[in-house]
Amino acid sequence: MMNTTTDTLNQLETLQARCEAQEKEIAELKKQVKLLLEQLRLARHRQFGKSSERTTDDQLRLDLVFNEAEAEAQPEEEEPTFEMVTYQRRKKQPGQRDAMLADLPVERVEYRLSEEERICPCCGDVMSEAGVEIRRELIHIPAQTKVREHVQQQYACRTCDQQGTETPMVKAQMPKPPIPGSLASASMLAYVIDKKYVDGLPLFRLEQQFARQGLQLTRQTLANWVVLGTTRWLELMYNRLHEELLKRRYLHADETTLQVLHEPGRSAETTSYMWLYRSGQDGPAIVLFDYQETRSKEHPRRFLEGFGGYLHVDGYSGYHDIPGVKLVGCWAHARRKFHEAHTALPAEERKKPTAARIGLEYCNRLFKIERALKDMDPEQRHAQRQKLSRPVLDELWHGSGRRANRYCPRVPWGQAVSYCLNQWPKLTVFLEDGHLELDNNRSERSIKRFVIGRKNFLFANTPRGARASAIAYSLVETAKENGLDPYLYLEYLFERLPNIQTDDQTAMNDLLPWSDHLPDGIRRRTKKA
């Protein structure tokens, strides 16, 4: 009897242990299924959904959660006696077409009747002019390539030639070409670089374009022109801009991938990197690209040697420990994590006050505050951030800290919380100085042009070509940021640099994109792209 009872108890304990193990396994499998479903929804959204991360106030209105009455109250303002509801309709700006055509040359074509055609059908007299109707249209003149011959006259003294032992000879002064012995003029070099690095046109398409004009300029020739023009002349301006960049106090940095086929000791499939460094709001814009074979932290340390100030970055650890540099985190990246966590939720959960939705709303509040402060001077912006932004950060920090241990770091929400907690010291640095920015979007906008161009040319052939591309992108993007026409600016540089003393600091400063000595004609007449 005792043995039977003992066996029964052992069986019950075994069954209970098995049941607990199965329940634990089921719970773990449910977590994995939930994680996989979230990843599937997020992957589908990335492939088929809208790329914009914009949200509206109505989408994420959580009044009770965020104590909106206290957050939005402004006791110093007088209470209005009535409320006016208005809306704005976007209208066509008057004179917009006239302003667009103002600087273009006009070709006037007049249509008149002969005296016989102006006979009045009623009385037979000749009709007088009574007004005109004008129709305007844009005429496109295709690009034209022509040959320019530089004829340098030489002079000799005939008297000395007949009577003396030496014959003095002099030559008329002639400007030096950018590439001696080449057909490439300053305008041709500027055109090829502008088409490749501004319009994203691959060289083989440029080769076809010139072929239609009867010019057999191979892509190898065009590539040689690009490399020689950038490394021989534009690199001088690149180095000068680099010196100016290191003098600034507020910088931004980012990096993206690049494939270079013929790197010594590396396979063609190996990933290389294009690093971007650009200025902030303190002074004229400078945008510099730097090609490197790896993503090592040594590259930003080397490039920024001598810089001491704030550097806006994303969460990549390669920017850590740069001497004399304080890193500023990017709230756009933090917000993107919350947005992805919110997108990964089932549709019926997205309208509920979930943790992902709450975190996204905190980020939205920070960006809303920044939009309201954008026109203030740095001192005012700094003061308002202490008053408005710091309380939002305190709420987000305490809320994230409470929830950090309750979520798996593998799920999107856990990744968002982990990112914020790990990056928090850098994410709060923007409170220190009104010149600092809430995000690193300034560098992401600058590197976007390279990313778009990469989709067309896909890869660089050699490290020298990748270096030339970095220099070319730097000059054209800096020119655009300073309101210059990239083609006209490049043409001016290729005309001037071969004919000045490049070690003359004053002469080089006169060629900087923000110099007052640049011709007015190279400044853009339209808004920046």
**Higher-pLDDT residue of 442, 143:** 442
In a domain, 413, yes or no: yes
Q: Which sign does the torsion angle of CA 43, 47, 52, 56 carry?
A: negative
**Higher-pLDDT residue of 160, 41:** 160
What percentage of residues in the chain have a pLDDT greater than 70? 84
**Separation of alpha carbons 425 and 327, rounded Å:** 9
In a domain, 321, yes or no: no
Structure token pair of residue 378: 């740095």
In a domain, 104, yes or no: no
Burial class (CB in 10 A: 0-12, 13-18, 19+), 267: exposed
Q: Tell me which residue of 453, 494, 476, 465 sits closest to 205, measured CA to CA.
A: 453
Task: Count how many domains the chain has.
Answer: 1
What is the reported pLDDT for 124? 83
What is the reported pLDDT for 404? 52
**Containing H/E element for 256?**
strand 250-259
In a domain, 164, yes or no: no
In a domain, 410, yes or no: yes
Q: Is the pLDDT of residue 524 over 60?
A: yes
DSSP 497: G
**Nearby residues of 99 by Cβ (< 8 Å), 6 or more positions away:** none
In a domain, 416, yes or no: yes
**Containing H/E element for 169?**
strand 169-171
**Separation of alpha carbons 524 and 482, rounded Å:** 9
The answer to whether the CB of 511 falls within 8 A of the CB of 470 is no
Look over the chain and give the mean of its residue pLDDT values, rounded to a whole number: 84
In a domain, 138, yes or no: no
Q: Tell me which residue of 233, 325, 230 sits closest to 277, measured CA to CA.
A: 325
SS3 for 126?
Answer: strand
- Residue indicated by tokens 């390539």: 145
Q: Tell me which residue of 521, 493, 491 sits closest to 507, measured CA to CA.
A: 493
What is the reported pLDDT for 225? 95
Written as one letter, the residue type at 399 is G
Show the domain range for 397. Answer: 331-438
Structure token pair of residue 456: 């067309």
pLDDT band of residue 528 (cuts 50, 70, 90) is: very low
pLDDT band of residue 328 (cuts 50, 70, 90) is: very high
pLDDT band of residue 73 (cuts 50, 70, 90) is: very low
In a domain, 211, yes or no: no
Written as one letter, the residue type at 168 is P
| pTM for the whole structure | 0.79
23-32, 258-267, 363-372 — which is least confidently predicted?
23-32
**Separation of alpha carbons 138 and 106, rounded Å:** 10
